[in-house]
Chain A
Amino acid sequence: DAGITQSPRHKVTETGTPVTLRCHQTENHRYMYWYRQDPGHGLRLIHYSYGVKDTDKGEVSDGYSVSRSKTEDFLLTLESATSSQTSVYFCAISESDRGSDNSPLHFGNGTRLTVT
């Protein structure tokens, strides 16, 4: 068990409101990731982090920002939610300190976000 907790598990919000999703790990892994999962698209990387205050963009980062002020917490913020951001969001960690290497990703149970 990689000890990953995502909160909230479900969220309904209105268009234009800010939303923050939280990912917490009980280990001290360096690399953390935020993905979104949509039918027909699989998992797409939003942002990732390789240490405290060290983050970078993934393939679908527009409209999202992230922060990592502590090793164990990685926050994803939708500054002004839109209906296109309705999705299931997954946090993941890599056991490798060098990023992907040969280590698999371990996933949280996801946050289902609905933007109305």
Chain B
Amino acid sequence: AQSVSQHNHHVILSEAASLELGCNYSYGGTVNLFWYVQYPGQHLQLLLKYFSGDPLVKGIKGFEAEFIKSKFSFNLRKPSVQWSDTAEYFCAVRAGTASKLTFGTGTRLQVTL
């Protein structure tokens, strides 16, 4: 069964700092990869997704992620965070043609002014 690891549980950054959140998965075959965000009091929203093609994926609000197959990684990046990026971020993977999505444990990002 596939699994997803997010090693950063809680990250605190100042505004304008650069962000990189790690995500590693364990599955040797074809994968679909996702990053979701949960702002305080709001429902989970899709930030970006990778299905195939260009491994560098751009999402909403200036976020991007790079799929590195050899490292089984899909790290999320943003060059300059804003206070409004304070939220919890979840990485998720779908293995092959499976219907279910497996989520990581999440990373809580706190951006200070």
A and B: real partners? no
Chain B interface residues (CB < 8 Å from chain A): none
Chain A interface residues (CB < 8 Å from chain B): none
